[in-house]
Structure 1
């Protein structure tokens, strides 16, 4: 039979055991491994660089992790308004179990080919492969709209003069099937069982598939889709 005097001892032992079991629940989570954060950033930048036709070289600086808890779900992102560039900041947020956000510095270069004019190209000239020379360099150090693939330029019309050695940009080229502002165009309206055609003047320029406004021969302003270099399909 259990003696009454032993009960306090057993109660004390039970309380100590319960406290030992409960302690881990309130203990701090293990710290986040900086190497894991750096790996997430590197893989994220490699994926972003995949849209460029070149080889990416990525150097991620050691993340400054300040007692952040270990994360089960890390997610990298670019801060608002930032695009890929040679020196950049990448954000890393922890989604679970404890939310936190950190920022990591990285250096990025993408070595690939771009194209320059090998002689003076005049406005209105149609480009051929013989007009272009390929050069290799860091694509991120170039301004936007640079032609990386000759197929993006061959057959296109120079919208402005491109000097010898000048970088060929898409903004300096015009699709041969595009319509220019002020150009006389043929309008075409289609409906069930009929096609109505007319003439007008383009109030805007546009490549095939874009929406432009046309002033009809009657003076009415209508909207339509560019089909080719002289035809606009008018909306009914």
Structure 2
């Protein structure tokens, strides 16, 4: 009895496999008989859509749509296809772009995952930089790096870094971010400074004493040692404060 049941099961399995194979061949013949949408065209449209929405220099972008399943069979869209993203979706490092066919006779829709990498020339440490030592122009360089995941934590101008102090040791090749730096005081409270008083093309120098610490670009109060008058000016460099008359 068991032997007959085993033979019956094997016969059923062979029959099911034959039916499935015949169904697959039939579906394949239908797919080849009708025109199908090129998968590369779908991927290209998704990539072009992302690039157009980012409004950035294409040379600074690497946009790659994921490969689509080669078994996918979509009727060729004779009218037009439309690319879109869902409401509220942001174009970050990864996004799903919808592509849909608007034909009256053949409507379909598919989502294509797209990876986005944004590049920019950013400030990078050219050598090992010790903590607390003022950075000079030879300590840094500009390199093209991927910044997609940095969320704004990078600098693009050497002038933004020179003269600042690393809060920690920076290894060679490290992207320098604002969080890693602190400005040094170019003027210290009680320090003798030079007051540069400017009006149009006229510049007058006088001696003064700083009444507060000051970083470059910061406004501090200074007492003129001759007139004893207290004025407010901007720290322009080490030991110099500029005021406008």
TM-score by length of 2: 0.45
The higher radius of gyration belongs to 2
TM-score, structure 1 length as denominator?
0.46
